[in-house]
Amino acid sequence: MSLMLPINFAWSSESSALQLDLMAYTLPRSIAAGVIIALVVAVFATTVNHGLAAWGAALFGIVIMYVNHVAGQHAGPVTSLSTLNYVDSIAAGILFGGIATAVLHGRPQVFGWTLGALSSVVIGTAVPAPHGEAHSTGLGTVYSPTGDTPPLWLIVVTMIVVAVGTVLNRHRSGIERRSFELPMAPILAGTLFVGVTLFGTEWLAHHGDNLVDIGTAALATVVAGMIAAMLLPRRDGTLVLLTIALSGVGATLLPSAVPTWTAIPLIAVVAGGILLGFRRPAPMAALAAFAATAVLGALTAGGAASPVRTAAFSIVLAALSGYCFSSAAPRYNPTRVLGMAIVFVPSVVVALRDHPSRNDYGTVTVENGHWYYTQTPTPDSPTPYWTAFAITIACVIGLIALRRWRAPTIPGTRGKAAES
């Protein structure tokens, strides 16, 4: 949650419009910085191959996060929210990369880690915006000032759990199978894809109404994704291609907000998708499902948002997200971190969906420390859906090429489990 959501304190609503706007502008960059740090930590801990390196890194990250939030609590509206958010994202990246290497040793651990990471996306969508508790008035929806996000008590509990894990696993070695390929490959792959995606997203935020710009950004994303997939050992790039399709299609289908009560059912659907992927892995079928969903979304776009349509697409997206992470089964833990990083970083399709000429917008006013939001719905455009469909088809081509050029297993390991 700290990696994806903007940091928030009880005094955030009193910050100047410039501070809030600057934090919103730098949020994608802080997420990108956090996921790159997560990859660096995961590769470092994998290379050292000792429990103390992985657990120690995770403990270091959560301690930085705790100090950052304690300092933020005692700060005020003149403090730079964007700086605090950058520090929070970097700390979250250290924690994320360290804990991934520390715990991913079998299917139960993969299930828990994947479910927790994807659940943060669901919770971030279901939890009200970090302006406070919402209620209706004659002026519109009101958001009262709120507390810290994430709450300090959750950070403290996590810090205690990670500290206990560090003590118990300080002498453990051999936590990860070694790769004969370039150890830096996940970092290079992640930096390439995240950099290209971030640039394309920011470009389309200002040029999202030009088909040439849309095609160029989508093509750059696909090429960067294919190169990233080829940089990884063996067929680990399968997860990269799946998550690129998930990120693109998910950006078109994931609503800006869902009712809070839907979080638990959607997390249960994600868990079901993960379990299904363990039992019946079929990455190509997952890509076909993403493509079909994008086409269906494009064909049903053009009118006002329907609650039934939103609910159906949310369920499908939750199931597919869990399924693609468990069906790919990469051999090396840093690949899983890279796959989740692709989901966290805003896709180029997000810029199309949120372009001023598309989707839902509203009017926000601030009065007496409260935020008043009045929604102004506009017709849904099919352009983001067709863009996501094109990206998914390119991922299908990439997966075919990856299967043709890369062997499924390392010589001498045939018949052994290919999961982390």
SS (H, E, C) 162-189: HHHHHHHCCCCECCCCCCCCCCCHHHHH
Omega prior to 356 cis, within 30 of 0: no
Nearest C-alpha neighbor of 251 from the set 224, 299, 290, 193: 290
Residue 284, Cβ density class (10 Å: 0-12 exposed, 13-18 middle, ≥19 buried): middle
pLDDT of amino acid 259: 75
CA dihedral 10, 11, 17, 21 (to 10 degrees): -50
Contact 65, 2 (CB under 8 A): yes
Residue 6 CA to residue 28 CA, distance in Å, equals 10
What pLDDT, on a 0 to 100 scale, did the predictor assign at position 389? 94
**355 within a domain of the structure (yes/no):** yes
Q: Is residue 416 part of a domain?
A: no
- Bridge partners of 136, per DSSP, are 141
CA Rg value for the chain: 21
CA 157/CA 170 separation, integer angstroms? 20
Check residue 369 and give its pLDDT. 45
How many domains is the chain built from?
1
Give domain status of residue 2, yes or no. no
Q: Which among 299, 383, 333 has a CA at the least distance from the CA of 106?
A: 333
Sheet (strand 140-143) strand order: 134-137, 140-143, 370-376, 361-367
Residue 112 lies in a domain: yes
What is the predicted pLDDT for the residue at 377? 44
Spatial separation of the C-alpha atoms in residues 60 and 35, rounded to whole Å: 16
Tell the burial category of 398 from Cβ atoms under 10 Å away from its Cβ (0-12, 13-18, 19+).
Answer: buried
Q: What pLDDT does 192 receive?
A: 92
pLDDT number for residue 83: 84
Residue 371 belongs to some domain of the structure: yes
CATH of the domain at 317: 1.20.1250
Q: CA-CA distance, 197 to 33, in Å (whole number)? A: 13
How distant is the alpha carbon of residue 186 from its chain centre?
17
134-137/361-367 β-pairing: unpaired
To the nearest 10 degrees (0 to 180), the angle between helices 283-299 and 383-405 is 170
* 412 conformational bin, left if phi > 0, alpha if psi -120 to 50, beta if neither: left
Within a domain: 276: yes
pLDDT in tens, the chain (420 residues): 777 777 766 555 566 667 777 777 788 888 999 999 999 999 888 888 788 888 999 999 999 999 988 887 777 666 777 888 889 899 999 999 999 888 887 888 889 999 999 988 888 777 655 444 444 444 444 443 445 677 888 899 999 999 999 998 887 776 665 555 557 888 999 999 999 998 988 888 777 677 888 889 899 999 999 999 998 888 888 999 999 999 999 888 877 667 778 889 999 999 999 999 999 999 999 999 999 999 998 888 766 567 788 888 889 999 999 999 999 888 888 899 999 999 998 888 887 765 544 444 444 444 444 444 444 444 467 888 999 999 999 999 999 999 988 777 554 443 343 333
Task: Please check whether residue 92 lies inside any domain of the structure.
Answer: yes
Would you give the end-to-end CA distance of the chain in angstroms? 24
Question: What pLDDT shows up at residue 7?
Answer: 72
Give residue 417's pLDDT: 35
The domain of 382 spans 12-405
Distance (Å, whole) CA 350 – CA 373:
21
- Residue 247 falls within a domain, yes or no? yes
Closest CA to 88 of 163, 165, 167, 8: 8
Alpha-helical segments (H) within 254-282? 263-279
Nearest residue to 305 (alpha-carbon basis) of 375, 238, 246: 375
- The alpha helices in 210-306, defined as continuous H runs, are 211-231, 237-253, 263-279, 283-299
